[in-house]
Amino acid sequence: MNTPDKKNMKHECPHQQECLQLLQSILDGEATTEQKDRFMGHHLEECMPCYQNYHLEVAIRDLLKKKCSNEAPQDLVDSIKQKVIQNLSK
């Protein structure tokens, strides 16, 4: 996607919900190459609401990855390993 010329972009999208669903499939790696090329290379450069949605979707995913992961406590990991070893020796 090139950086679009904001002056020439539409400020209303008549298909915003449908576009958002398509955008999400693209970001989820579930869209076809053709869908992806048409949307990313064409629609996003002319449609402001979808362009903003794209950046918002990407930012939310980044934030989720950064802020919503918790590592298992080491004592729990050790205790699970221990229990399995005990099971094996039975």
Partner 1 sequence: MEEEFIKNNYTDAQKQEIFDKEFMPQINAMYNFAYRLTLERDDAKDLLQDTYLKAYRFIDSFQQGTNAKAWLFRILKNSFINDYRKKSKEPSKVDYQEVEAYYNSEEVDRQITPDLRVESLGNMIGDEISNALNALDVDFRTVIILCDLEGFKYEEMAKILDIPIGTVRSRLHRARNLLKEKLSEYAKSMGYKTA
Q: Contact residues for partner 1 (CB under 8 A)?
A: 17, 20-21, 24-25, 28-30, 52, 55-57, 59-61, 63-65, 67-73, 76-77, 79-81, 83-84, 87-88
Cβ proximity to partner 1: between 1 and 56 the closer is 56
Minimum distance from CB of 72 to partner 1 (Å)?
A: 3
State the amino acid at position 17 in one-letter form.
Answer: Q
1 in Cβ contact with 40 (< 8 Å):
yes
Cβ proximity to partner 1: between 37 and 52 the closer is 52
DSSP string, 21-71: HHHHHHHTT-S-HHHHHHIIIIIHHHBHHHHHHHHHHHHHHHHHHHHS--P
Minimum distance from CB of 42 to partner 1 (Å)?
A: 22
Minimum distance from CB of 12 to partner 1 (Å)?
A: 13
Q: How many CB atoms lie within 10 A of CB 44?
A: 22
